[in-house]
A and B are shown apart, each in its own frame.
Chain A
Amino acid sequence: MPAPPCASCGKARAALRRPRSGQALCGACFCTAFEAEVLRTVLAGRLLPPGAVVAVGASGGKDSTVLAHVLRALAPRLGLTLHLVAVDEGIGGYRDAALASVRRQAARWELPLTIVAYADLFGGWTMDAVARSTAGSGRSRSCCTFCGVLRRRALEEGARRVGATHIVTGHNADDMAETVLMNFLRGDAARLARGGGLGSRGEGGALPRCRPLQLASQKEVVLYAHFRRLDYFSEECVYAPEAFRGHARDLLKRLEAARPSVVLDLVHSAERLALAPAARPPRPGACSRCGALASRALCQACALLDGLNRGRPRLAIGKGRRGLDEEGAQGAPGDAEGGVEGAQGASGDAERDVEGAQGDTEGGVEGAQGAPGDAEGAPSSCDCGASGVRAACDCE
């Protein structure tokens, strides 16, 4: 049975059906339609003003690859300058291959590429080292929390190095839907209150970030990559199976089988959530150590690193002494835990499944409350030489 003609141009044979509307389209028309929709999102949401220098978080995975490709196609029309920023978390056997893919893309598209590595930025802490350090805690490792927070910082740093004015990441509609579910299951009211928009405007020095692919479904992203013959890296992060986000993803897949529109319905619900004022996050200030955006004295990245350095990796994770609501969140992007974004940052889109690299998978309850003890006092150091804000760390 021959394929029906394309519903749009009527000339070529249809090569696919769009998952959302069931229309039969040929490859070229579909790609055009996809790009048009991304353009519409950017314009209607006023996400990227003309003349913006845009840092694209590139992980080598399908979402960031498609994002970079679409933005490159739209750049002349929108008046943008693009830079690729890739983050090297130091996960052996996974990130190296992904980075190779990013390098190939940068070469092919002739876009400038900057790579920032955790090892350089965060005093030698690679994700593998973090994983080893947190391995003995008995409960799940919460590598993803660290990875997400630190990746946000790294992305911000990389963007600054190239002089960018905006950061874009490749989160798609499925990511947003999973994040909503996850935040509900973890009871993270603060993130729920923050999320739902198209990105954050960037307060107090943090760069504005947005997600142009937010309303595109994952299936369409994959289809687009297929028809444009894009080459990307598609394996799962080594630490992915432990992530809580996996549960949300599993539920989403089943819901989608029952009702295909559920992804957008969830995004719509997230946009319209009304939370009580008490649950909203406090106004952000600046981190006392690094100056980045923070809702308490220390930004989340500094707090986490502190915990690692002092041999107490779970210091900044966990309930703390205060309740969930006031913990609220870390204010804003600079803090590396942007709202509903779940700290995906640059990478992580490559492997769909139980991602892991999605940052705040454990976010919710463990939400990253700044280490309680670190909030006050000037930095000092313990006798053993570890730096910290308390006179003595728990080396004894």
Chain B
Amino acid sequence: MVWQVLEGLSRDSAKRLRFVPGIVYVDEGAACGRSPEDRAKTLSEARLVLEAVGFPHHEVALEEVFSLPPSVLRRPAQGPAETQAQGDYKAAVDTFLQQQLVLGAQDSLPPAPGEGQLHHPQGLPGPQSWTAAQTQALCRLFESVKTLTAREELLQTLRTHLILHVARAHGYSKVMTGESCTRLAIRLLTNLALGRGAFLAWDTGFCDERHGDVVVVRPMREHTLKEVAFYNRLFAVPSVFTPAIDTKAPEKASIHRLVEAFLLRLQAQFPSTVSTVYRTSEKLTKAPREGCASGPRCLLCMCTLDIDAADSATAFGAQSCSHLSPMQLPPLPAEAGTPPTPCCPPGPGRAQGADERQDAQAHFLEQLCYGCRVNMKELASLDPLPPYIQAEAQLRSQRAWVRREIQEFLIEDGGDGEDGQS
């Protein structure tokens, strides 16, 4: 994709692209368990390639998620940000970075599928560094998640936040990622299996504006992996290989691997499979299904929450019901006239002795969408999470609590005014 952009910007291309790009690399070596020497080696290889391309580039390590501000998780109120607002944010973030500056070692990063698109060119990257403590914290975080599936999802989330942050800090308005048609088809099925059916349009569509000011676009989504491979070979595009979190994992290790293997196998038998799945993704809209209004957003993926009531006749209802103690299931009497009682009483039906820790975790989970919830349930406790996530979670649950307290005094817009006790 970088090569394509390069070509598009060159003087002799027929339609010249009109933006100034930058490149973002994210080093995920810590999550993959690589040694610092390996990472340094890959980084130097990557740097060679990047410098040949000539765009301004920013190298960030995944460890830096531990120094992100909670504002990463907030969606800016206004739509596409004007320059002034961006400038304010940028200034604020710059000061924050200065405060958080820790003397660090070198930067080391393998290539990441990220690229930034700018209004105005930026100079050299700001000071970015990481410490061994952060690396350890990152390793601890990934180890506390047991399954590879949840790890990959967590990695994806953290990476997205990091790239967002870099984009905002340097004033980029769009982020281009290089996912091909094949990868998107795989992701579509994977997200379906992870319970993210409501958000497929955002996760796999061409443009993804759920972060507000920064838009994620996927310009390569029409090209299959094979085409990309051929292109790279024919035009001698240099690339750097680096192991990812699921390299050499057995096929059954995670949902992502399973779906990938399955789809590629099926593609061999029915050659239209990938394009069929891809076309289906084009038919997805971003509107919610029954026009459920814009409610609160998920803490991690920033999509509107897709949770139903706990006792509804849906998959979510079935799961939340079976978690409650079976002693609360009413026996089946033969009375015909009894009104239908819900089999699981809503409200706090959990066992006695819920610690604060469990409470905090419960509150945290409540702020997540279905898919993120399933992933985060694997975490035994919230401690390993980066501070920005914890801070934002606390803030939101605080706000929700306050809102519940004053709910009866609020006047809803368009509804009947409630005036507390008369």
Q: Does A290 sit within 8 A of B, measured CB to CB?
A: no
Contact with B along A69-95 (1 / 0, CB 8 A): 000011011010000000000000000
Tell whether, in the assembled complex, residue B318 and residue A215 are in contact, meaning their CB atoms are under 8 Å apart: yes
The number of inter-chain residue pairs (CB within 8 angstroms) is 176
Interface residue B334 (Cβ < 8 Å from any Cβ of A): yes
Please determine whether B283 and A77 come into contact, CB atoms closer than 8 angstroms: no
A268-B284 in contact (CB<8A): no
Stretch at the interface among B169-177, B229-237, B271-279: B271-279
Q: Give the size of the chain A interface in residues (CB under 8 angstroms).
A: 63
Which of A74, A250, A264 counts the most chain B CB atoms within 10 A? A264
Instruction: Evaluate contact between A181 and B326: CB separation under 8 angstroms.
Output: no
User: Contact at B283–A269, with CB atoms within 8 Å?
Assistant: no
Of all chain B residues, the one with the shortest Cβ separation from A216 is: B318
Given known pairs A39-B332, A41-B313, the reply for A258 and B255 (CB within 8 Å) is yes
CB-contact partner of A181 in B192, B306, B313, B334, under 8 A: B192
Q: Which 3 A-B pairs have the closest CB atoms?
A: A269-B197, A265-B195, A45-B313
List residues of chain B with CB within 8 A of the CB of A265.
193-195, 315, 370-371, 374
Beta-carbon nearest neighbor of A188 in chain B: B280
Given contacts A23-B326, A269-B195, contact A37 B277 (CB under 8 A): no
Chain A 131-147, CB-CB to B under 8 Å as 1, else 0, gives 00000000000000000
Q: Which residues B163-192 have CB closer than 8 A to chain A? A: 188-189, 191-192
* Neighbouring A residues of B35 by C-beta, 8 Å: none
The reply to whether B253 and A7 contact each other, CB–CB distance below 8 Å, is: no
Residues of A within 8 A of B194 (CB): 262, 265, 269
Write the nearest CB–CB distance from B357 to chain A, whole angstroms. 21
Look across to chain B and name the residue whose beta carbon is closest to the beta carbon of A324. Answer: B279
**Cβ–Cβ < 8 Å partners of B273 in chain A:** 185
**Cβ-closest chain B residue relative to A269:** B197
Contact of A257 with B by CB under 8 A: yes
A384 at the A/B interface (Cβ < 8 Å)?
Answer: no
The yes or no answer to B55 lying at the interface (CB within 8 A) is no
Contacts A/B (CB < 8 Å), 22 sampled: A32-B329, A36-B330, A36-B343, A44-B311, A77-B334, A185-B266, A185-B276, A187-B279, A255-B193, A258-B254, A258-B258, A262-B194, A264-B195, A265-B194, A268-B315, A269-B197, A272-B198, A274-B286, A275-B283, A275-B284, A275-B285, A325-B283
- Contact mask for chain A residues 244-258; partner B; CB cutoff 8 A; 1 contact, 0 none: 000100110011011
Given A184-B277, A185-B266, A274-B286, A40 and B311 contact (CB-CB distance below 8 Å): yes
Q: Which of B23-40 touch A at CB < 8 Å?
A: none
* Contact-residue bracket for chain B: 35 or more
Query: Known contacts A180-B192, A215-B315: does B283 contact A21 (CB below 8 Å)?
Result: no
Q: Are A261 and B313 in contact (CB under 8 A)?
A: no
Contact code string A166-186 (vs B, CB < 8 Å = 1, else 0)? 000000010000001100111
> Within A181-227, which residues are at the interface with B (CB < 8 Å)?
181, 184-187, 189, 192, 198, 215
Q: Mark B321-339, 1 if CB is under 8 A from A, else 0.
A: 1110111011111111000
Is A269's CB under 8 angstroms from B255's CB? no
Q: Does A259 contact B (CB under 8 A)?
A: yes
Interface flag for B319 (CB, 8 Å): yes
B295 to chain A, nearest CB (A): 13
A189 touching B283, Cβ below 8 Å: yes
Asked if A113 is at the interface of the complex by the 8 Å CB criterion, the answer is no
Residue in A7, A18, A254 whose Cβ sees the most chain B Cβ within 10 Å = A254
Complex contact B332–A36 (CB within 8 A) = yes
List A residues at the B interface (Cβ < 8 Å): 7-8, 18, 20-21, 23, 25, 29, 32-33, 35-37, 39-41, 43-45, 73-74, 76-77, 79, 173, 180-181, 184-187, 189, 192, 198, 215, 247, 250-251, 254-255, 257-259, 261-262, 264-279, 325, 365
Known: A35-B332, A40-B311. A274 touches B276 (CB 8 A): no
Q: Tell me which residues across on chain A come within 8 A of B74, comparing CB atoms.
A: none
B341 to chain A: closest residue by CB = A43
- Closest Cβ neighbor of A40 among chain B residues: B343
Tell whether, in the assembled complex, residue B283 and residue A266 are in contact, meaning their CB atoms are under 8 Å apart.
Answer: no
CA distance A257 to B332 in the complex (A): 34
Given the contacts A41-B313, A198-B313, A274-B285, A20 and B189 also touching, CB distance less than 8 Å? no
Nearest-neighbour CB distance to chain A for B201, whole angstroms, equals 7
Instruction: Decide: B258 and A44 in contact? CB cutoff 8 A.
Output: no
With A262-B193, A269-B192 as known contacts, state yes or no: A44 contacts B312, CB within 8 Å: yes
| Chain B window 268-311, contacts with chain A (Cβ cutoff 8 Å), 1 for yes, 0 for no | 00000100110110011111110000000000000000100001
A268 & B193 in contact (Cβ 8 Å cutoff)? no
